[in-house]
Amino acid sequence: MDLMSINAVAARLGLSVHQLRRWELMFGLEIKRGRGQQRQYRSEDLSVLERIKELVEQGWPTSQIRPQLEAEGLVTPKLIGLPSTPGNPEVLMEALIGLRNFTERRFIEISRQIDELRQLLITVTLKQELEGELTSPWQPVSQELLSDVRHYPAEEIEIGPAIGPSPVAPPPQVDVSISVSSPVARPPEPTAAPQKPQGMGLGEITDQNYLTVLGRALDMIGWTDEQADSYSQKTFSVPHWDELGRRQAEALIAHLETVYKGRVAEDQPA
């Protein structure tokens, strides 16, 4: 890679040597030094200087050129004015003071630019409102945007019953005379209806519990397994009652309920 001297770069860019040195200090450019501390410019250094010249010719403020170069990736962001290896405390203090002054000037300049932009925005907005291009928030809304509002006449609303003189009904005549000769007839006392025998209360019978219900019914009647097996053999030709199907078990349960109701009826007083 060919290295260029400061005189060659100045001649190529049409600048003076003094201007190149000034830009190097002003924008914190890192230019390599050769023998005898002579500056040696690389191709990337030449690109940075060409961009700086272009921004200056466009009228960019000096304080905005370095941030623009950093944004474009032409230079590495760093603190301008801070030495890379500060060994002397006085040099470091001077660098910090310079950085503080630069920051204050930068802040004042940015604040001024913000005020100018705010005034420009207000001016443009007012101009658009006067020319009718923009609707102002304090202008009345046009009638076309309002929906038709229907006005109805006021009506009287009656709440509750009408208040007025109401006819007073005469009090009912009560006959307080009691005949002594005829005794007062008393209403007949209600006779207790005969109680129906209560069922066994076995509950619902399903495919899963019909044998359980049948066993509970046998216990309530007091039948033994031999009696239940004998009835099952005679009626359904099934030797054991716990081998009955659901319909057969329901028939046996109905028979047991009949027996149970008969016993309850016999136990009730006549």
What are the tens digits of pLDDT across the range 76-96? 776 544 444 545 666 566 667
Report whether 44 contacts 17 (CB < 8 A). Answer: no
- Kindly report the average pLDDT of the chain as a whole number: 75
* Closest to 228 (Cα-Cα) out of 241, 214, 238, 216: 241
Angle, vertex CA 21, rays to CA 12 and CA 14, nearest 5:
20
The residues near 211 (Cβ < 8 Å, ≥ 6 apart) are 242, 244, 249
Query: Which range is most confident: 72-81, 162-171, 240-249?
Result: 240-249
- Cβ atoms 217, 200 nearer than 8 A: yes
**Does the pLDDT at position 200 exceed 90?**
no
* Triad 69, 73, 79: Cα angle to 5°: 60
pTM: 0.32
**Structure confidence at residue 80 (pLDDT):** 47
> How far apart, in Å, do the first and last CA atoms of the chain sit?
134
Question: What mean pLDDT comes out for the span 176-186?
Answer: 51
Phi-psi category of residue 201: left, alpha or beta, with phi > 0 → left and psi -120 to 50 → alpha: left
| Helical spans, DSSP H, in 78-237 | 89-130, 210-221, 225-236
Q: Angle at the Cα of 108 (from 106 to 113), degrees rounded to 5?
A: 95
Q: Which residue from 50, 244, 208 is spatially nearest to 41, judged by alpha carbons?
A: 50
Higher pLDDT, 170 or 42: 42
Residue 126 identity: L
Banded pLDDT at 267 (limits 50, 70, 90) = confident
Q: Which residues contact 66 (CB under 8 A, 6 or more apart)?
A: 27, 28, 75, 80
pLDDT band at 130 (very low <50, low <70, confident <90, very high): confident
Task: Report the candidate in 50, 31, 51 with the shortest Cα–Cα distance to residue 41.
Answer: 31
pLDDT band at 48 (very low <50, low <70, confident <90, very high): very high
Q: How confident is the model at residue 11 (pLDDT cuts 50, 70, 90)?
A: very high
> What is d(CA 99, CA 93) in angstroms, rounded to the nearest whole number?
10
- Residue the block writes with tokens 């590495």: 76
Is the torsion defined by CA of 54, 59, 63, 67 positive or negative?
A: negative
Q: Where residue 241 falls among pLDDT bands split at 50, 70, 90? A: confident
pLDDT greater at residue 96 or residue 66 = 66
Cβ atoms of 218 and 182 within 8 Å: the answer is no
Residue 28: burial class (beta carbons within 10 Å; 0-12, 13-18, 19+): middle
Residue-level pLDDT at 35: 80
Q: What is residue 235's DSSP assignment?
A: H
**Would the pLDDT of 182 be above 60?**
no
Q: Can you tell me the mean pLDDT for 249-256?
A: 89
